[in-house]
């Protein structure tokens, strides 16, 4: 990439995460429905992923989602900004190591897709 | 032992891959050239193929790593993950068929541009606090379900969840439009993707000219600085133009 190294090079904001190619979770989203499909070829299928493709595309507005967001709201710590109280810390660690106390409650669908291809250590939670 | 050819995408015959770049199963990349087009391929290892399927996380990463690395320097039309040909002759069928006449033109359109993908989500805790602050009914329902199990307060939970999801949808729409408006001047193409979670705000792929990358980065930084208290920002790229090839 030809950019000047000195002076006017813009400083990258710390508010934007720039992981380059992205984590495995980001890659899964690309894999699911991008790129040209050539009819003449039977694509080698990714075990389990194609079944999840259809569900993963829909913004879920279902009872399951409502229950998850209700629980996230239930667990929300109203008194600290960014803080977590002990009970939510414990439940967060018990589930999937989610950094954010509310994430465990609502990431069910997306985690289902990621889980098909990742182990917990490879998963990269968003900031 | 070869188990066929993995086909990553279509490039021009003079395309070069970065030194040392390997593909699926750690195999070297090769070009199959036909007239003014070429296929970017690598041999599949039959032992590594297992059940005859590509399912390991490394396979997914190899696909995008190869395409992203090549796209940084060359126009490339990415194929969908998992496109496998029996041999060289079989692979050539990619370049035949009805859509193939446009490949050359599409490659030229993608010369000199890079894809980036911007993923914007609400900071979940911040937005939930906003909603509880704005909607007394939400606060009341939250108090109602506190300390209860899902079965006990199922109806209240559904009502609260619906209220929260609707509120997020309402907050999202104006936000996405204003961000897109700020991106348009610094990109050559833009493709909004379907949102997946209620707290997604914007999921957008863009094409950026090589010589406009700094301006684009600065625009994304400005967008994030103005909104970072309520949203998180993740910028992927440079990438191959996954969102800008016509599905066939």
Respond yes or no on whether the N-terminal peptide bond of residue B238 is cis (omega within 30° of 0): yes
Q: Which two tokens stand for residue B226?
A: 């103005």
Q: Which of A31, A40, A72 sits opposite B97 (nearest CB)?
A: A40
**At which residue do the structure tokens 């999937």 appear?**
A96
A66 → closest Cβ in B65, B96, B158: B158
Within 8 A of B221 by CB-CB distance, chain A residues are 10, 12-13, 15-16
Listing DSSP states for A81-96 in one string gives SS---HHHHHHHHHHT
**First CA to last CA distance, chain B:** 32
Contact assignment for B63 to A31 by CB distance below 8 Å: yes
CA distance A101 to chain B (A): 9
- If pLDDT is split at 50, 70 and 90, which confidence band does B99 have? confident
Compare all CA atoms of chain B with the CA of A23 and give the residue at the minimum distance: B61
Rounded CA gap, B199 and A109, in Å?
A: 13
Task: Map tokens 């998963």 to a residue.
Answer: A123
Nearest to B214 by CA among A3, A123, A112, A106: A3
Q: Which of B10, B66, B71 is nearest to B35 (CA)?
A: B10
Q: What residues in chain A have per-residue pLDDT under 50? A: 1-7, 45, 47-60, 82-101, 104-106, 108-127
pLDDT tens digits along B189-203: 999 998 888 999 999
Per-residue confidence (pLDDT) for residue B145, from 0 to 100: 96
* pLDDT 10s digits, B118-138: 999 999 999 999 999 999 999
C-beta of residue B124 within 8 angstroms of C-beta of residue B199: yes
Question: Cβ contact (<8 Å) for B53 and A47?
Answer: yes
Q: Is the dihedral of CA A92, A98, A101, A106 positive or negative?
A: negative
Q: Helix, strand or coil for residue B235?
A: strand
Kindly report the nearest CA distance between residue A38 and chain B, in angstroms.
6
Contacts of the segment A89-93: beta carbons below 8 A, 24+ positions apart = none
Top residue of B234, B239, B244, B248 to mutate, by most chain A CBs within 10 Å, is B234
- Residues of A in Cβ contact (< 8 Å) with B209: none
Judged by CB atoms closer than 8 Å, whether chains meet at A59 and B77 is answered as no
Distance between first and last Cα of chain A: 27
Strand partners for B6: B42, B84
């Amino acid at each position: 990439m030809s950019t000047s190294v000195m002076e006017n090079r813009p400083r990258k904001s710390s508010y934007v995460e720039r992981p380059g190619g992205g984590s495995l979770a980001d890659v899964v989203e690309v894999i699911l429905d991008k790129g040209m499909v050539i009819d003449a070829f039977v694509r080698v299928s990714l075990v389990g992923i194609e079944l999840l493709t259809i569900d993963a595309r829909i913004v879920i507005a279902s009872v399951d989602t409502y229950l998850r967001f209700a629980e996230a709201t239930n667990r929300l710590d109203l008194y600290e900004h960014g803080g977590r109280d002990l009970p939510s810390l414990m439940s967060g660690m018990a589930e999937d190591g989610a950094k954010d106390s509310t994430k465990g409650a609502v990431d069910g669908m997306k985690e289902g897709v990621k889980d098909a291809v990742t182990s917990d250590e490879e998963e990269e939670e968003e900031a | 032992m070869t188990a066929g050819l993995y086909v990553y995408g279509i490039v021009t015959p003079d395309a070069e891959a970065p030194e040392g770049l390997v593909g699926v199963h750690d195999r070297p990349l090769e070009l199959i050239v036909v007239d003014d087009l070429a296929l970017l391929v690598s041999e599949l290892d039959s032992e590594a193929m297992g059940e005859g399927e590509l399912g390991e996380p490394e396979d997914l990463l190899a696909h995008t790593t190869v395409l992203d690395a090549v796209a940084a320097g060359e126009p490339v039309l990415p194929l969908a993950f998992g496109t496998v040909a029996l041999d060289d002759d079989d692979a050539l069928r990619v370049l035949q068929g009805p859509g193939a006449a446009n490949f050359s033109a599409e490659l030229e359109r993608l010369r000199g541009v890079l894809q980036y993908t911007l993923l914007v989500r609400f900071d979940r805790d911040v937005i939930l606090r906003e909603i509880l602050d704005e909607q007394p009914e939400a606060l009341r329902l939250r108090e109602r379900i506190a300390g209860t199990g899902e079965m006990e307060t199922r109806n209240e939970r559904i009502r609260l969840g619906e209220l929260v999801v609707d509120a997020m949808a309402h907050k999202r729409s104006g936000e996405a439009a204003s961000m897109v408006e700020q991106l348009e001047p610094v990109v050559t193409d833009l493709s909004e993707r379907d949102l997946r979670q209620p707290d997604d705000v914007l999921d957008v792929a863009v094409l950026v000219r090589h010589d406009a990358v700094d301006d684009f980065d600065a625009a994304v930084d400005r967008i994030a600085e103005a909104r970072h208290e309520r949203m998180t920002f993740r910028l992927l790229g440079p990438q191959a133009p996954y969102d800008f090839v016509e599905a066939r």
